[in-house]
């Protein structure tokens, strides 16, 4: 019943376009997925996501198993029905949260045990059980349970996390039908390469870079991206987890990455930081009190087609919550459009030029 | 250029249906207007209002003159452009707020003077200037500056407010082209009658009951409603200001009222209280954790067509703001539908039956 396919369409250097088809649902790559951690993208509904062309999103099993609980989602007929979302759903295993949020009771090569911050209930998860839950709540793509050390981490810690990640990955592979593997290794060249190869050798429907974009220097992050772009097989999607700033996305596409997710666009929107072709602006600034132009005059999102900076700033200054939804729609659309333009320029063989001119304008603004 | 028309269509007892046409925009009566105090209905956008069939809304000059300020709205081309709203706009004079929010510097028969809570700026408004501002920001229907005493008030206070309201009403009439008069008089039979006659004698495009639904016993409120329904001319719209609960609306329609506004539906929605045909429910209750049916199974609003109690409760418990928009849309739609059913049953001569069966089901639920 579960079906997964990735079709590679065009390449330009290492950058590439393609199509993911999973359980009858489709998404074009390079693909950006908004983060619906708790089965909702903050301030938005599934209709909002549809209206701006979102094709896939990622939820988080760690949060959802605590609230509303697996049984409630199952009772609704699965996540797609619960959220009224018919696009692709990825689920994050929640390893990142379970292990790093400071309440892990124990952790070994077989399982992770943690206490709920909501009610103190103790959960014990093996990699197999984690994948089983992801499938029970009707995910399209399950992500491996991995162990992501903080940045910076001692080499010893990285080595240990690598072994655990690799061992868990085997359990996840055996337990699930559509699963993406995740590499760790921090920014250590040798360990990252090793992890990418380990994950590749196990064999998955797709391959992810984990444990990056968590505070390391951007040059190190790009170096690790290139490793993934080279080691991961060409005929499978490559997923850089947690990446969402416009410039980083273009650099990662350029290094062969296909799939991304991040709360960056929507979190920035709620913090009043608005993406425009000429860089970010702060919507609450006095400069915009009488600015009756759209957030980004070159944008054709529903927010920019209907509202002005002056109006959105007024709502923001007046604590009228609608402004957060309007800015979230805009920032998310901005990133989706960036992916669309990337795909078009890759197809035309002009991606390098597109990337250069976008970044120049964005950073000069 | 300003054009106002009210066509009375059907009557059934004192209840009636009709149509308001103003500056080329139309609305059917009985009409409920959501409150967009600060140029936005809380948590919603103008597209949301369109999508559920809102035909008119009311904003508030007191709030808007302080923020964003008259110049900003004028600069946008007026309120319709500022809010991207092409339906009818009523503006409240803000008398209620200016005089009752505890920061009035002075008040006499010529003017009201108050200090902004935002920046301490002192505003001085004559009735003429108030109407002028309402017209400058592009209202369709201006409301008279009135003096609304609190409930309960001494008779002496009511008498004084009546004189002021009547004197100001003359100034407003002279200054504006499409203006509704407002009667005061609290729940004093004699004073309310006197005020209704005074306002009627001055002559306006429509007539409102002010200073009700502010804490007085419901029987007194209904008695005052009947006075308005009898004294105000049949060929003009009658507006009960600040009324919004389902049962009160039906009672007021039954007594000849045509137009209503209130924050009640949206405020209740944000306080987790949901209107259904069988009474209100609290969406955060444990009962709904696994209830995969719509908020009101008999409702066809966008929220009920797409989401379940279990999902909306989950968003609510998880502090995901989208739940407030979803419940606001539902409650508002519920009231709009109630007005629609009222119009239909008046046309069929079945309003009394409709009212009785609605209230029975709603109050038994």
Name which of B43, B44, B320 is nearest A42 (Cβ-Cβ).
B320
In angstroms, the CA B324 to CA B344 distance is: 30
pLDDT band at B116 (very low <50, low <70, confident <90, very high): confident
Give A326's contacts in chain B (Cβ within 8 Å): 45
ipTM above 0.95, yes or no: yes
Distance of CA A256 to CAs A14, A233, A237, B70, Å?
Answer: 5, 11, 9, 53
Q: What is the model's pTM?
A: 0.97
> Do A325 and B39 count as a contact with CB atoms less than 8 A apart?
no
Name which of B302, B313, B321 is nearest A43 (Cβ-Cβ).
B321
Query: Two tokens at A276?
Result: 């425009």
Size of interface A-B (CB pairs under 8 A): 118
- Which residue of the set B92, B248, B254, B296 is catalytic? B92
> Do B38 and A314 count as a contact with CB atoms less than 8 A apart?
yes
Q: What pLDDT score was predicted for residue A98?
A: 82
Neighbours of A174 (CB within 10 A): 12
- Which residue of the set A140, A248, A261, A296 is catalytic? A261
Name which of A308, A318, A325 is nearest B76 (Cβ-Cβ).
A308
In angstroms, the CA B293 to CA B278 distance is: 15
> Do B306 and A45 count as a contact with CB atoms less than 8 A apart?
yes
Composition of chain A by helix, strand, coil, percent to 5: 45, 20, 35
pLDDT band at B114 (very low <50, low <70, confident <90, very high): confident
Give A313's contacts in chain B (Cβ within 8 Å): 68
Asked if the model's pLDDT at residue B110 lies above 80, the reply is yes
pLDDT band at B105 (very low <50, low <70, confident <90, very high): low
> Do A46 and B306 count as a contact with CB atoms less than 8 A apart?
yes
Is A329:A44 a contact under the CB 8 Å cutoff? Answer: yes
In angstroms, the CA B332 to CA B49 distance is: 9
Is B179:B131 a contact under the CB 8 Å cutoff? Answer: yes
Name which of B45, B82, B322 is nearest A326 (Cβ-Cβ).
B45
Mutation for B interface: A320, A324, A327, most B CBs within 10 A? A320
**Could you confirm whether B92 is annotated as catalytic?**
yes
In angstroms, the CA B131 to CA B168 distance is: 11
Phi and psi of A274, rounded to 5°?
A: -110, 130
Domains by residue range for chain B, with CATH:
4-262 (3.20.20.105), 272-365 (no CATH)
Give B45's contacts in chain A (Cβ within 8 Å): 306-307, 322, 325-326
Percent of chain B with pLDDT over 70: 98
Q: pLDDT tens digit string along A248-288?
A: 999 999 999 999 999 999 999 999 999 999 999 999 999 99
Which helix (H) or strand (E) is A283 found in, with range?
none
Give A315's contacts in chain B (Cβ within 8 Å): 38-40
Is B305:A302 a contact under the CB 8 Å cutoff? Answer: no
With H, G, I as helix, E, B as strand and everything else as coil, classify residue A362. Answer: helix
Is B283:B312 a contact under the CB 8 Å cutoff? Answer: yes
In angstroms, the CA A76 to CA A79 distance is: 8
Query: Two tokens at B146?
Result: 């009135």
- Which residue of the set B138, B188, B248, B261 is catalytic? B261
**Could you confirm whether A146 is annotated as catalytic?**
no
Q: pLDDT tens digit string along B49-97?
A: 999 999 999 999 999 999 999 999 999 999 999 999 999 999 999 988 8
Q: Please report where in the chains the tokens 């949301």 appear, as a residue.
A: B48
Question: In angstroms, what separates the C-alpha of B362 from chain A's closest C-alpha?
Answer: 28
Exposure string for B203-219, b = 16+ CB within 10 A, e = fewer: ebbbbbbbbbbbebeee
For the segment B290-303, the average pLDDT, to the nearest whole number, is: 98
Residues 6+ apart with CB under 8 A from B209: B182, B183, B224, B225, B228, B238, B239, B240, B241, B257
With H, G, I as helix, E, B as strand and everything else as coil, classify residue A349. Answer: coil
For the beta sheet containing B15-22, the strands, ordered from the edge strand earlier in sequence to the opposite edge, are B4-12, B15-22, B25-29
Give B315's contacts in chain A (Cβ within 8 Å): 38-40
For the segment B184-193, the average pLDDT, to the nearest whole number, is: 97
> Do A75 and B290 count as a contact with CB atoms less than 8 A apart?
yes
Query: Two tokens at B207?
Result: 């007539």
Q: What pLDDT score was predicted for residue B102?
A: 61
For the segment B288-304, the average pLDDT, to the nearest whole number, is: 98
Q: What pLDDT score was predicted for residue B326?
A: 98
Q: What is the DSSP letter of A205?
A: S
Q: pLDDT tens digit string along B200-222?
A: 999 999 999 999 999 999 999 99
Which helix (H) or strand (E) is A44 found in, with range?
none
Q: What pLDDT score was predicted for residue A104?
A: 64
Q: Please report where in the chains the tokens 């009772």 appear, as a residue.
A: A75
In angstroms, the CA A349 to CA A13 distance is: 9
Q: What pLDDT score was predicted for residue A106?
A: 76
Give A82's contacts in chain B (Cβ within 8 Å): 308, 310-311, 314
Residues 6+ apart with CB under 8 A from B132: B175, B176
Question: In angstroms, what separates the C-alpha of A42 from chain B's closest C-alpha?
Answer: 6
> Do B322 and A38 count as a contact with CB atoms less than 8 A apart?
no
Q: Give pLDDT < 50 ranges for chain A.
A: none
- What SS3 string covers chain B? CCCEEEEEEEEECCEEEEEEEECCEEEEECEEEEECCCCCCCCCCHHHHHHCCCCEEEEEHHHHHHCCCHHHHHHCCCHHHHHCCCCEEEEECCHHHHHHCCCEEEECCCCEEEECCCCCCEEEECHHHHHHHHHHCCCCEEECCCCCCCCCCCHHHHHHHHHHHHHHHHHHHHHCCCEEEEECCCCCHHHHHHHHHHHHHHCCCEEEECCCCCCCCHHHHHHHHHHHHHHCCCCCCEEECCCCCHHHHHHHHHCCCCEEEECHHHHHHHCCEEEECCEEEECCCHHHCCCCCCCCCCCCCHHHHHCCHHHHHHHHHCCCCHHHHHHHHHHHHHHHHHHHHHHHHHHCCCHHHHHHHHHHHHHHC
> Do B289 and A72 count as a contact with CB atoms less than 8 A apart?
yes
Exposure string for B110-130, b = 16+ CB within 10 A, e = fewer: ebbebeeeeeeeebebbbbeb
Give A311's contacts in chain B (Cβ within 8 Å): 39, 76, 82-84
- What SS3 string covers A86-148? CCEEEEECCHHHHHHCCCEEEECCCCEEEECCCCCCEEEECHHHHHHHHHHCCCCEEECCCCC
Q: What pLDDT score was predicted for residue B259?
A: 98
Give B314's contacts in chain A (Cβ within 8 Å): 38-39, 67-68, 72, 82
Query: Two tokens at A85?
Result: 């979302």
* Chain A residue with minimum CA distance to B77: A292
Q: What is the CA B168 to chain-centroid distance, rounded?
A: 21
Q: Please report where in the chains the tokens 């991040």 appear, as a residue.
A: A262
With H, G, I as helix, E, B as strand and everything else as coil, classify residue A172. Answer: helix
Is A306 exposed, middle or buried, given 0-12, 13-18 or 19+ CB atoms closer than 10 A?
A: middle
With H, G, I as helix, E, B as strand and everything else as coil, classify residue A272. Answer: coil
* Chain B residue with minimum CA distance to A289: B72
Question: In angstroms, what separates the C-alpha of B43 from chain A's closest C-alpha?
Answer: 5
Is B286 exposed, middle or buried, given 0-12, 13-18 or 19+ CB atoms closer than 10 A?
A: exposed
B281-289 LR contacts (CB < 8 Å, sep 24+): B283/B309, B283/B312, B283/B313, B283/B316, B283/B323, B283/B327, B284/B313, B284/B316, B284/B317, B285/B313, B288/B313, B289/A68, B289/A72, B289/B313
Name which of B306, B314, B326 is nearest A39 (Cβ-Cβ).
B314
């Amino acid at each position: 019943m579960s079906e997964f396919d990735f079709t590679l369409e065009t390449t330009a250097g290492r950058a590439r376009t393609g199509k993911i088809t999973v359980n009858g649902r489709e998404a074009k790559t390079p693909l950006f997925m908004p983060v619906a951690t708790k089965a909702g993208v903050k301030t938005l509904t599934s209709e909002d996501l549809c209206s701006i062309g979102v094709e896939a999103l990622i939820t988080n099993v760690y949060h959802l198993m605590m609230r509303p609980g697996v049984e409630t989602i199952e009772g609704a007929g699965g996540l797609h029905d619960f959220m009224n979302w018919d696009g692709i759903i990825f689920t994050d295993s929640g390893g990142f949260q379970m292990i790093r949020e400071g309440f892990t009771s124990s952790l070994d090569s077989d399982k992770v045990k943690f206490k709920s911050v909501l009610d103190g209930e103790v959960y014990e998860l093996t990699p197999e059980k984690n994948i089983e839950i992801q499938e029970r709540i009707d995910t399209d793509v399950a992500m491996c349970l991995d162990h992501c050390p903080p940045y910076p981490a001692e080499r010893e810690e990285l080595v240990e996390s690598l072994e655990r990640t690799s061992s868990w990955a085997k359990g996840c592979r055996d337990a699930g039908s559509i699963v993406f593997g995740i590499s760790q290794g921090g920014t250590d060249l040798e360990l990252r390469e090793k992890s990418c190869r380990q994950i590749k050798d196990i064999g998955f429907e797709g391959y992810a870079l984990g444990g990056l974009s968590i505070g390391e220097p951007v040059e190190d992050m790009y170096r690790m991206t290139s490793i993934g772009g080279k080691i991961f097989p060409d005929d499978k999607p490559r997923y850089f987890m947690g990446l969402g700033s416009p410039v980083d996305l273009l650099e990662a596409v350029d290094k062969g990455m296909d799939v991304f997710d991040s709360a960056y666009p929507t979190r920035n929107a709620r913090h009043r930081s608005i993406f425009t072709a000429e860089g970010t602006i702060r919507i609450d600034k006095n400069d915009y009190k009488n600015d009756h132009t759209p957030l980004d005059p070159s944008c054709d999102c529903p927010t920019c087609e209907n509202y002005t900076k002056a109006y959105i700033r007024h709502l923001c200054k007046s604590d009228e919550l609608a402004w957060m939804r309007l800015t979230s729609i805009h920032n998310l659309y901005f990133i989706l459009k960036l992916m669309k333009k990337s795909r078009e320029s890759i197809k035309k063989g002009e991606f390098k030029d597109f990337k250069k001119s976008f970044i120049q304008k964005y950073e000069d603004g």
